[in-house]
Amino acid sequence: MFFIKNFIVIFCISILYSTPSYSIKVKSDYAFLIDFDSDQVLFEKNPDKKIFPASMSKLMTLYVLFDYLEKGLVSMSDEFFISENAWRKGGAVSDSSTMFAEVSSYISIENLIRGIVIHSGNDACIAVAEGISGSEELFATEMNFLSQEIGMTKSNFVNSTGLHNEAHYSTAKDLVILAKSLINNFPQYYHFFSEQNFIWNGIFQPNRNNLLTDDIGVDGLKTGRTNESGYSMIVSSLSGGNRLVGVLGGLSSKETRTSEMKKLINYGQKRFKRFTVFKAQDLIGEAKVWGGKYSKVNLTIAEDINIFLDIRERRLLNAKYSFYEPIIAPVKKGQYIGKILILNDDIIVAESDLISQQEIKGKSIIGRTLESIRYLMN
């Protein structure tokens, strides 16, 4: 008979600060801030609320395009046609979200990317959608397919631009998943997000992400605004070797959006410090082994476990680990045995696998038979 063994390890990380712990208040309708490497949540406010993502949707348009580039289905030098549909929807009436593409012209994918990233060109987005799928409707199908593939389970896209549509929605948490996936899966294209200006058709276009020129390490990603969504922004910030990803929205002005995002990023950078609570190969415990030449196997951590802690706070962290016992021999070195969870206030902040520290060979048939008899007699 096999049993699940559960253990709790209590440990304390003491930080030499005495200032009382506090969080921040943001004016936005929603906000979500995570550590890029561990996915640890540093701040959240309505992270699963249904929102209209506005031009932040263009990150999904870019994700589809980058996927096509990565698979070799298109190349940077390929040119897409600027249809009248792209020209009209893209800003012929208003220059608020356009790269100023000329109707019936051809523009390279590389320049269309800049038009989307730097000046949020609706015309560039529609040109990409039509160039890849033939229409925005079909392109939205591809957007939804890939969004589900990367784990955006509470999003739906109906266009490439983020122009308002009641059926076009997402959540703060999903948008952070998208931003992380862009950086992880297509690092070779991430440099576009940090480019500060772009000239097309003789018109100078500054990057709408005005935090790129600030001193908080922001190197991408996207702003957004519609009447229905308010002002929104999703950014990635790299400082001191730590990358954070944050999003907020539903604000009343560009200035408020900027100040609230600076507040959120500063909070993550200055209030938290990374600590290693366990190192790879740290010995955690031991498990009984059945049918092996040794009766027990040591359990170790598979990888370093690093977490962010509020550096002005004393916290008591719980480490809970579990596994099935006994383990049946033979046991390979590094074999998966169980799971360890790091919790703070019953919230899981990190996890890792438990693995065997050594190899344990199985007994002979006679040895196993004798062990079975002893087990039954007990």
Query: For residue range 308-347, what is the model confidence (pLDDT) as tens digits?
Result: 877 665 566 778 888 887 888 899 999 999 898 888 777 7
**Same domain, residue pair 315 and 220:** no
User: Does 221 lie in the same domain as 188?
Assistant: yes
**Which of 273, 289, 310 is the last residue before a domain boundary?**
273
**The pLDDT of residue 187 is above 80:** yes
Question: Is 16 part of a structural domain of the chain?
Answer: no
Are the C-beta atoms of 341 and 319 separated by less than 8 Å?
Answer: yes
Amino acid identity at 17: Y
Residue 24 in any domain: the answer is no
Supply the pLDDT for residue 156: 98
Q: What is the CATH number of the domain that holds 220?
A: 3.40.710.10
**Rounded CA separation 233/254 (Å):** 10
Q: Count Cβ atoms below 10 Å from residue 199 Cβ, excluding itself.
A: 11
* Number of domains forming the structure of the chain: 2
- How many other C-beta atoms are found inside a 10 Å radius of the C-beta of residue 57? 30
Domain that holds residue 257: 30-273
Domain boundary among 243, 273, 303: 273
Q: Could you tell me if 355 and 303 lie in one domain?
A: yes
Q: How far is CA 89 from CA 15, 85, 171, 239, in A?
A: 55, 6, 25, 38
Q: Using CA atoms, how far apart are residues 167 and 188, in angstroms rounded to an integer?
A: 32
> CB within 8 A of 241, min separation 6: which ones?
none
Q: Is the domain of 244 the same as that of 347?
A: no
Closest CA to 187 of 154, 220, 147, 231: 220
- Do 200 and 60 belong to one domain? yes
Q: What is the mean pLDDT of the chain?
A: 87
Q: How far is CA 217 from CA 26, 132, 176, 359, in A?
A: 20, 34, 17, 46
Helices 109-119 and 58-70: crossing angle, nearest 10°?
160
Number of Cβ within a 10 Å radius of residue 376:
7
Give Dmax over CA atoms of the chain in angstroms. Answer: 89
Q: Are residues 126 and 266 in the same domain?
A: yes
Cβ 2 vs Cβ 325: under 8 Å: yes
240's tokens: 């001191």
- Which distant-in-sequence residues (6+ apart) come within 8 Å of 232 by Cβ? 28, 51, 53, 54, 56, 223, 224, 225, 247, 248, 249, 250, 251, 257
Q: In this structure, are 224 and 305 located in the same domain?
A: no
**20 in a domain, yes or no?**
no
Instruction: Rank 37-51, 90-104, 277-291, 310-324 by mean pLDDT and report only the highest.
Output: 37-51
Q: Give domain status of residue 255, yes or no.
A: yes
In a domain, 256, yes or no: yes
CB under 8 Å to 208, separation ≥6 — which residues? 118, 119, 120, 223
- 307 versus 115: the higher-pLDDT residue is 115
Asked whether the predicted pLDDT for residue 90 surpasses 70, the reply is no
What confidence category does residue 165 fall into, taking pLDDT thresholds of 50, 70 and 90?
A: very high
Q: Encode pLDDT of 233-277 as tens digits.
A: 999 999 988 999 999 999 999 999 999 999 999 999 988 888 888
> What whole-number distance in Å separates Cα of residue 129 and Cα of residue 45?
33
The CATH number for 297's domain is 2.60.410.10
Contacts of 173 (CB under 8 A, 6+ apart): 32, 47, 48, 154
Are 195 and 334 in a shared domain? no
The verdict on residue 178 lying in a domain is yes
The whole-angstrom separation of Cα 227 and Cα 242 is 34
Task: Report which residue type is found at 231.
Answer: Y
Same domain? For 253 and 293 the reply is no
296-301 vs 283-290, strand pairing mode:
antiparallel
pLDDT band at residue 16 under the 50/70/90 scheme:
very low
Both 259 and 351 in one domain: the answer is: no
Q: Do residues 114 and 59 both lie within one domain? A: yes
263 and 349 co-located in one domain = no
Which of 256, 273, 290 corresponds to the end of one domain? 273
Whether 161 is covered by a domain: the verdict is yes
Look at residue 19 in the predicted model and tell me its pLDDT: 36
